[in-house]
Copies of this chain bind each other. A is one copy, B any other.
């Protein structure tokens, strides 16, 4: 990973999974004079929305065919973008016959899904393609630094943010804990595979059960996704729903390390936060 701006080669190949972000990134590229070509994953990518763009349909198992298409479209730079409900590893082993012969990928199975994707990325790179991140091709869709709302974090929130960053730093060697909720200096919960929405719902439930006694609004959702993650699908995402979850959890605000997190509908998110009086701030990376 690098913070330097890469020279991006146009057209850019977007390996597009589910959700709205492949199209937001494609629009962002077009706005900056670059050409996107979408390689839409069957069963994941929205077939209606993809029609607006130059695209091809591919399947998760067709690595050889995909690479032929990338080449025929003259795409050198490739991005994974979108959400992907992944098949179980055991199912992949059965279905992806092509992968059986590829040693590095099989080796990567043991490391879990992220390693699997980076294994596939390495295969692409061995064939002359370059895997790039959202921050390289469409940095405007990522969380910026600085407070975006009228409400600012107060001293108590600032201390909770610092504590949250500490606990997420401690968890960084593990495949858990991209977010934490800290209330009055207590780490109340750490994100697991439920994701941020699930984390917020859990804390809302703990509040409603009286397990959290600090009066709302108090406490911060602190999100510090691993920087290595932007070379994969399912990038951490926030949006208006995150604000809604934070309000239900009785939090004072949301703090997100700048970069690495996609902001879906940023304007609507900021308006929702302003309306609720919660802060939304981007932390320096």
Residue positions of A touching B, CB distance < 8 A: 88-90, 110-112, 163, 166-167, 170-171, 173-177, 185-190, 192-194, 202, 206, 211-213, 215
- Given A171-B170, A213-B89, A176 and B188 touching (CB < 8 A)? yes
Query: Are A88 and B190 touching (Cβ within 8 A)?
Result: no
Can you sample 10 A-B contacts with CB below 8 Å?
A: A110-B185, A167-B176, A175-B187, A176-B187, A176-B189, A188-B192, A189-B193, A192-B202, A192-B206, A193-B206
Instruction: Report how many copies the assembly holds.
Output: 2
Bound complex: CA A202 to CA B201 (Å) = 12
Bound complex: CA A238 to CA B88 (Å) = 32
Main secondary structure of the interface of A (DSSP, over half): loop
Query: Are B166 and A174 touching (Cβ within 8 A)?
Result: yes
**Residue ID in chain B nearest A172 by CB atoms:** B170
CB-defined contacts of A194 to chain B, threshold 8 Å: 202, 206, 211
Query: Are B185 and A174 touching (Cβ within 8 A)?
Result: no
**Residue ID in chain B nearest A180 by CB atoms:** B176
Given A176-B186, A177-B190; 8 other pairs, CB 8 A cutoff: A90-B213, A111-B185, A167-B171, A170-B170, A170-B174, A189-B193, A193-B211, A193-B212
CB-defined contacts of A188 to chain B, threshold 8 Å: 176, 192-193
